[in-house]
Amino acid sequence: MILAVLLWYSSSLRFQAEMGLLIALWLTVSAISSIFLIPAMVYIFKPRFVFGDAVEAKQAGAAVPA
């Protein structure tokens, strides 16, 4: 998808070329952050909607069923 949008950069219309480049850059940043940044943030912050009550039980020393 990024390559398809990047093809707009070769457009003879200047606005379309600039927007094609900006959209391709933004899609690249978004893809990289979804692969690396979001899993790292989930690992660091351990949200309850992902891990449930297992994190709190583990911190309290209770046995967590597998």
pTM, two decimals, is 0.63
- CA atoms of 11 and 20, how far apart (whole Å): 9
| Measured distance CA(25)–CA(5) in Å, rounded | 10
pLDDT of residue 56: 66
* Contact criterion met (CB below 8 Å) for 23 and 6: no
Q: Are 9 and 21 in contact (CB under 8 A)?
A: yes
Residues 6+ apart with CB under 8 A from 43: none
- Report whether 15 contacts 40 (CB < 8 A): no
Percent of the chain having pLDDT more than 90? 50
pLDDT band at 55 (very low <50, low <70, confident <90, very high): low
